[in-house]
Amino acid sequence: MRMQEILITNAGKIIRRHRKLNGLSMEELANRSGIHDTHLGNIERGNAAMTLPTLFKISAGLDLSPSTLLKDIEEDTFTLYEEDMKERT
């Protein structure tokens, strides 16, 4: 899997994890974030990449700083990327 695919897929999983930890439905988070729930669903499933402004909106909807959300995405994504690279060798 390419790094971009790993990042997009994992970012969605991290957002979904935070949403569920906050007890929010997808519709509630989309409303709090000011984005369409279909777009949020595509992001969570790894079917769509998000822009930096969208990341900021979702972070606000989750009551997280963008840096906290990015840190979580980075940590999990780097681990997955390392595993993927090991499988290739």
- Averaged pLDDT, 67-78: 90
The pLDDT assigned to 82 comes to: 75
Q: Dihedral (C-alpha) 21, 26, 31, 33: value to the nearest 10 degrees?
A: 60
Q: How high is the pLDDT of residue 55?
A: 97
Locus of tokens 């979702």? 58
H or E, element range at 88: helix 66-88
Give per-residue pLDDT as tens, 26-55.
Answer: 999 999 999 999 999 999 999 999 999 999
User: Which residues span the domain enclosing 83?
Assistant: 3-88
CATH number, domain of 15, equals 1.10.260.40
Give the pLDDT confidence score for residue 1 in this predicted structure: 60
**At residue 87, does pLDDT exceed 90?**
no
- Number of domains, the chain: 1
Read off the pTM: 0.87
